[in-house]
Chain A
Amino acid sequence: MTPRLPWTTSERTRLATAGARATVAGSLNRQPGSDVVKGRVFFALLLFAVGVAMVALAAVIIQSAIKGWPSFGTHLITDGPSTIFPEDAGFRPAIIGSLYLIGGVIILVVPIGVGAAVYLEEYADRERWWNRLIELNIQNLAAVPSIIYGILGLAFIVRGPLDLGFIALAGSLTLALLVLPTVIIAAREAIRAVPPSIREGSLALGATQWQTIRRQVLPASIPGIATGVILAISRALGEAAPLLLVGAATFVTFDPEPFSGGYSAMPVQIFNYALRPQDEFKVVAAAGVILMLVVLLAMNSFAIWLRNRYEQQW
């Protein structure tokens, strides 16, 4: 440990050095009593804060479970909504609607999101103003409130230029635009984590830029991209506000279709039950929350596991 310098050979000097070191260490470790107390109080405060956050998470899950338990059963999945009988009220059309919505979001968002990320990371010249504009724009879009996307969907997709009407596809498009920035940002981070040496090696062997991206960069960044996509999908699945504006709020008792007719979605149906004044329907809403939380927690845990499992140290 101690570097063997010429003058430490003498026994006396060595003792003196050790003594000096002990003195310095002692004076550094000795803290005034109030500092020790302050440190402990602060640490307790930190633990308290983290504890509240964790307990809050547990409370949301446990409270919904307890509240929704009386209404839990297969009728939640097999029955449609009811305004009169809470014991028969279920989520069947809403679940089918949500599946259509999410299917559409995946088809739309994965190619476009990854494509945009590849362009920004692999092709775009940062010095050009239009590339910086795109980047800034994506950061900004990621923080635009979801209900504004609902307004966009209402004005541009349901009515206006696209004029699709209140159908599931309109909901899909709206949700896709909402989560697109999240997917792009996550995919960019995954692509950026691939070290330049991999690209340079591939290019040096004569591969073109696209060959390098397709055979080296994208395969190496798939776990990161998948994590981002799953988190984005789970956000789209739980999002209700924009759907209120693009038609999912209608009362639907039949199985919805993707390209025609009214549709409903899981979080919107929960919201509709929660709005009813009777407590029995709030119980149904809570049961729906458990149903949705189980799916979402499974998806999020899988995404986080995926990230930790394949997080590559180059």
Chain B
Amino acid sequence: MATGDLAAKPRGALVAARPRYGEKLIEASLVACAVISVITTTAIVISLLTPTIGFFGEVSVGDFFSFDTWAPTHADPSFGVLNIVVGTLAVTFWSLLFAVPLGLLSAIYLSEYAKPRVRRLIKPVLEVLAGIPTVALGLFAVTFLSPEIQKILPDLVKSPPFFVLAAGLGIGLLLIPIIASISDDAMRAVPGGLREGAYGLGATKLKVSTRIVFPAAISGVVASIVLAGSRAVGETMIVLLAAGGTANATFNPGEQVLPMTAFIGKTATGDIATGTITYDTIFAVGSVLFVMTLCMNAVAIRLVRRFREVYE
């Protein structure tokens, strides 16, 4: 803002009368607020890493990343983490299988077909669905979805009332609004000129939606699915209530599994002594979970940035 280099220094008006220390102080405190987020990430990494290193001092990496039995709290412990990783993936797979088609079709409806008035009605309802506490969805999964599925497919379920499909559908309810909302944003970011061009060439609405808008918004659509997947991998309460507690390495929708988050939630409830192998196992599993979701989030963030940059 300094104008001092002009031929004659103007008197008063344009030059600050005194240095404004208050302004600097405020800027510094705002920087501090922003830096808290970086501190949080660092703290997460440190809090996961330290016990995890301690854990690998006692259990070999090969024993951990294996399909040995998962029995970390037994007297003769065994740490085949892949059993619970597969459990997580099984629940995620079934939830996505349910939520991706419904979420994407809802997004196409909202962005291409719905009249503004209908849209203003449906969008908030979806947002409310996204705001339902997961413990409520978990209770719904175990007291409603689980018995209903057992009625419809009596041969499917091996160990009622807990099984993969009940938890998967419960999480699916959580994912539909996530997928619908992000994909809808991406599709609406596709410029109207592309649609008009296609209509001008005689395309039907169906063709415009599926062959023009959908491919043009594909990075946002994929981002919404990856983000939903990451949400499913990290979801805890629904799997704690509905997935069961036996660490089966299976994608079978009728079996019980123990997803990683369920293990952490079950084991960490209550006071565990610091430094025991059980305590460290929680953090080792947490690290695996953190790395998995971090990779998925990085992919999603990159894709979202792409669709924002191209069209906005």
Q: Do A and B bind each other?
A: yes
Report A's interface with B, CB cutoff 8 A. 27-28, 31, 35, 38-39, 42-43, 45-50, 52-54, 56-57, 59-60, 63-64, 67, 111-113, 115-116, 118-120, 123-124, 133-134, 136-141, 143-152, 154-156, 159-160, 166, 177, 180-181, 184, 208-210, 231, 234-235, 237-241, 244-245, 249-250, 267-268, 270-271, 274-275, 282, 285-286, 289, 292-293, 296-297, 300-301, 304, 308
Q: How large is the interface on B (under 10, 10 to 19, 20 to 34, 35 or more residues)?
A: 35 or more
Q: Is the Cβ of A271 less than 8 Å from the Cβ of B237? A: yes
B210 to chain A, nearest CB (A): 8
CB contact under 8 A between A133 and B236, given known A63-B143, A119-B30, A152-B43: no
Tell me if B44 is interfacial: C-beta within 8 Å of chain A: yes
Q: Is the Cβ of B269 less than 8 Å from the Cβ of A141? A: no
- CA of A143 to CA of B41 in the docked complex: distance in angstroms? 12
CB contact under 8 A between A240 and B237, given known A270-B135, A274-B139, A304-B124: yes
- CA of A180 to CA of B300 in the docked complex: distance in angstroms? 20
Report B's interface with A, CB cutoff 8 A. 20, 22-23, 26-27, 29-38, 40-41, 43-44, 46-48, 50-51, 101-106, 108-110, 113, 120, 122, 124-129, 131-140, 142-144, 173, 176-177, 180, 202, 204-206, 209-210, 227, 230-231, 233-237, 240-241, 261, 264-265, 268-271, 274, 282-283, 286, 289-290, 293-294, 296-298, 300-301
Q: Is the Cβ of B133 less than 8 Å from the Cβ of A57? A: no
Q: Is the Cβ of B30 less than 8 Å from the Cβ of A141? A: no
- CA of A249 to CA of B267 in the docked complex: distance in angstroms? 12
B301 contact from A139, A145, A244, Cβ within 8 A: A139
CB contact under 8 A between A147 and B265, given known A235-B131, A293-B132, A301-B128: yes
Would you give 21 A-B contacts (Cβ < 8 Å), ordered by A?
A56-B176, A57-B125, A64-B136, A64-B140, A115-B30, A137-B38, A143-B231, A144-B293, A145-B236, A145-B289, A148-B289, A151-B268, A210-B22, A238-B132, A238-B136, A239-B134, A240-B135, A267-B237, A274-B138, A282-B143, A286-B143
B37 contact from A137, A159, A235, A300, Cβ within 8 A: A137
- CA of A209 to CA of B29 in the docked complex: distance in angstroms? 15
A140 to chain B, nearest CB (A): 5
A99 to chain B, nearest CB (A): 16
Q: Which residue of A lies closest to B33 (CB)?
A: A115
Q: Is the Cβ of B33 less than 8 Å from the Cβ of A119? A: yes
Additional A-B contact list (5), CB under 8 Å, known A46-B109, A151-B286, A282-B139: A59-B144, A63-B140, A140-B298, A150-B268, A289-B136
B197 to chain A, nearest CB (A): 14
CB contact under 8 A between A140 and B264, given known A119-B33, A238-B132, A274-B139: no
